[in-house]
Each structure stands twice: as C-alpha cells, then as structure tokens.
Structure 1
Amino acid sequence: MIVPPGFGTVVPYIFAEEWDAYVAFLIAAFGAVEVGRSMRGDGGIANVQLRFGGTTIMLSDVSAVYPASRVSLYLYVDDADAAMARALAAGGHCEMAVGDMPYGDRQGGIRDPRGNIWWVSQRLTDEPYF
C-alpha cells in the first residue's frame, strides 16, 4: 500500500458550500496550510488539500451528487486556549469551553461556519489514553 506523504490511511474529505470562504476559515482558525488544489472543467473546485501539522484533509465544493457533509474532527494543538480564541475570532462558535479533561487533555469545542465540530485538544501528559 502506498500512502502519500502527509496523508494517513484514513483521510477526512469534506464537501462544503462556499468552499473558498471555508478554506479561508480553516487557515485563519486552525493554521491550516493549503498544499494542493485541482479545479473542475467548469471552474469549480474539484479538490483542495489542507495540511494541519502532519495530517492532510481534503475538501471539495458541493454538487447535486455530493451535498454538504458534516463531520466531527479531533485536532491536537500546542495551546488549546489560544486555538479556541483564534477559531472564535475567525467566525467559529463555542460548542464547549476549554477545560481540563479526566483523560489528560485540555480541550474545547468549536462549531465552524459549515456546521462541523472541531475538538481542539492539547495533550497534557505523555501517558496513553487507555
């Protein structure tokens, strides 16, 4: 099996309305970096690849065949409080305030402008979850 660098075995793929505004949100809110883009023949976006640290996700415009999708994503960050503040400033809505969790993470939740939930999580220990 060949998996491209920066991709995992499972790669989130989101279909989003107003994909360009959504890409701008992900860059501003979470520091995503656009690493690739392919366009459709009609000028719409076929695929945008965004890297979050060592992980890449894919994003496409909606169509009659592929309507907007909703997903919940767990995003590890260096500073959960700062990540939450950036996401709120970029237009996200607080789903859950940042707090220390019993499983060793400092975590908060953001609902993005497309309805996806991002759990921003700062790991506080080197111990495994289980």
Structure 2
Amino acid sequence: MYLPDGYGTIFPYMLVNGANSLCVFLADVFGAEEMGRTVFPDGRIANIRIRIGTSNFMISETDGSAMKSMPGAYYIYVEDVDDTYKRALSAGAKSIFEPADMPYLDRQAGVVDPTGNNWWISKRLVEEPYDS
C-alpha cells in the first residue's frame, strides 16, 4: 500500500468554520507549515494540507449542510509548554488550564483554539515511556 511521505494509515482531518484562520493560528502557535491546498470553484476550501513537526493532517471548510464543524481534541508535544501556551492565548485561544506538571510526568497546558478544538500542549519530562 502506498502512503504519501509524512502520512500514516490514519491522520486527523479537521472540519471547521474558518479553515484559513485556523491555519494562521496553527502557524503562529505551533509552527505549522502549509503543504498545499485545494479550493472548490466557489472559493470554499476543500482541504489544506498541514504539517506540524513530524505530523501531517488536513483541514477543510465546512459547507453548512452535510459537512458540519466537528471540534476535536489533539495532544501535541512541544519544546516549551509555557511559551506555546502564551502564544496560543495571544493568538486567540481560550485557556482550559495553565501549564502544570502532571502525575504522568508531562508538563501540560490546555487551550481551545478559535474554531473550538481542544489542544493538550505537552512536553514529556522524562525520557521513558508512559506506564502501561
């Protein structure tokens, strides 16, 4: 089975109101890179292909009928939780919880992006797997 470079057998496909503004948010906060986009003849975004770090995913603009906005939750690893959290708030996110060290040995903060998705901004504090 052929999979394009950077794609796994499953990856997020976000359906949002405001696909372009979400892309700007993701670039400003997480350093997302736009890999390409497809636009319908009416100007609506069919999909924007995005990469953050080693992960690829797609964002699509809802059409107001069959394709409704579907907020999701995403766990993202970053180098600096506190700085990323501040950038997210500056870019329009709302806080779920401030950065804190968690009992499972991640430093973590939570935000809701402007399109309603939850982001668990995390950094592993130890170089070992999670308990099974």
1:51-130 paired onto structure 2 within 5 Å: 51-63=51-63, 64-130=65-131
Question: What's the TM-score once normalised by structure 1's chain length?
Answer: 0.95
Structure 2, gaps ≥5 residues long: none
1:48 lines up with 2:48 in the alignment: yes
- SS for the counterpart of 1:70 is coil
Aligned twin of 2:21 = 21
Question: Any gaps of 5 or more consecutive residues in structure 1?
Answer: none
> Structure 1: how far apart are the matches of 2:85 and 2:48?
24
Q: Report if the CA contact (8 A) 2:47-2:60 is conserved.
A: yes
Structure 1 vs Structure 2 CA RMSD: 1.0
CA distance in 2: counterparts of 1:44 and 1:115, whole angstroms: 20
CA distance in 1, matches of 2:114, 2:101: 25
Does the CA contact (< 8 Å) of 2:32 and 2:50 recur in 1? Answer: yes
Residue 2 (structure 1) shift: 2.2
Number of residue equivalences: 130
Q: CA–CA distance in 2 between the matches of 1:37 and 1:103?
A: 38
Q: Which moved more, 1:7-16 or 1:54-63?
A: 7-16
Percent of aligned positions that are identical:
42
Rounded to whole Å, the distance in 1 between the matches of 2:8 and 2:105 is: 24
Tell me the TM-score normalised to structure 2 length.
Answer: 0.94
Shift of 1:112: 0.6
Report the AA paired with residue 114 of structure 2. P
Q: Distance in 2 between matches of 1:9 and 1:87?
A: 29
Q: Map Cα deviations across residues 25-75 of structure 1 (whole Å, 9 max, x no partner).
A: 111122111111111122211110111100011000101110111100000
Instruction: Write out the 4+ residue segments of structure 1 that deviate beyond 2 Å after TM superposition.
Output: none
User: Structure 1 stretch 16-25 or stretch 104-113: which is displaced more?
Assistant: 16-25
One-letter amino acid of the structure 1 residue matched with residue 16 of structure 2:
A
